[in-house]
Amino acid sequence: MRLHVAQCLSSVMLVTGVVCGVSLMPPATRAGESAMAGDAGAVSKGDHVAFIADAQSIAANRAATVNLHFRVEPGFHINSHTPKSDMLIPTKLVVAMIAGDPEVTAVDFPVGTPFAFAFEPKQKLDVYQGDVVLMAHVKAATGQHSLKAELRYQACDQAACYPPKTLAVEQPFTAK
Amino acid sequence: MRNAVVGGLIVLVVALLVWSGVHNLHARRAEEARARDQQMTIAVDKKGATATATAGGETVADLRGKPAGVFTLTSSTGKRVSLNDYKGKPVLLNFWATWCTPCKVEMPWFEDFQKKYAAQGLQVVGINEDDDAQSAEVKDQIKKTLERTGVDYTILMSDKSVGDAYGGLDVLPATFFIDRSGKIVAQAIGLASKDEAEQNVQKIVVGS
pLDDT of res. A104: 93
Chain A residues closer than 8 Å to B56 by CB:
48, 76, 157, 160, 162
Domain residues for A8? 2-32+41-175
B51 vs B47: CA distance, rounded Å: 6
* Number of domains observed in the structure of chain A: 1
- Report yes or no: A159 at the B interface, CB cutoff 8 Å: yes
Checking if the pLDDT of B110 tops 50, the result is yes
Structural domain of B64: 55-205
- Within this chain, do residues B72 and B152 fall inside the same structural domain, yes or no? yes
SS (H, E, C) B42-111: HHHHHHHHHHCCEECCEECCCCCCCECCCCEEEECCCCEEEHHHHCCCCEEEEEECCCCHHHHHHHHHHH
CATH code of A104's domain = 2.60.40.1250
Does B32 lie in the same domain as B125?
no
Question: What local confidence, expressed as pLDDT, does residue B59 receive?
Answer: 60
Residue of B nearest to A87 (CA): B99
- Whether residue B41 and residue A87 make contact (CB cut-off 8 A), yes or no, is no
Shared-domain flag, residues B37 and B68: no
Considering only residues B2 and B55, tell me which one the structure prediction assigns the higher pLDDT.
B2
* A163 CA: distance to closest CA in chain B (Å): 7
Q: Which residue has the higher pLDDT, B106 or B52?
A: B106
Question: What is the tens place of the pLDDT at every residue in B157-180?
Answer: 999 889 999 998 889 999 999 999
Q: Are residues B41 and B59 in the same domain?
A: no
Write down the ipTM of this complex. Answer: 0.71
What phi and psi values does residue B10 have, to the nearest 5 degrees? -60, -45
Position B20 scores a pLDDT of 66
